[in-house]
Amino acid sequence: MSDVTTVLSKIEELRTEMHLLVKHKGIKAPEVLLISQELDRVLNEYKDLCIQPKTYRKKERLTSSL
């Protein structure tokens, strides 16, 4: 999952799922913790995608166009 659009979609999906779980099972439900941890992981992935050095992104574009 490296495309920014895909990651953003996953973030929204996990947020929605977590909110529904909290509403139906409560904040302390084990499932809520698991979704929260997955959301943290995906948010970190999004952060990493957004702060990649520009030189790395340029190099990546050059390599993919070959």
CA angle 34, 16, 42 (to 5 degrees): 55
| pLDDT the model gives residue 53 | 64
Are 1 and 11 spatial neighbours (Cβ–Cβ below 8 Å)?
no
Residue 3: per-residue pLDDT: 85
Give one DSSP letter per residue of 13-37, joined into a string. HHHHHHHHHHHHH-TT-HHHHHHHH
Domains, the chain = 4-64 (4.10.280)
pLDDT in tens, 34-54: 999 999 999 999 999 888 766
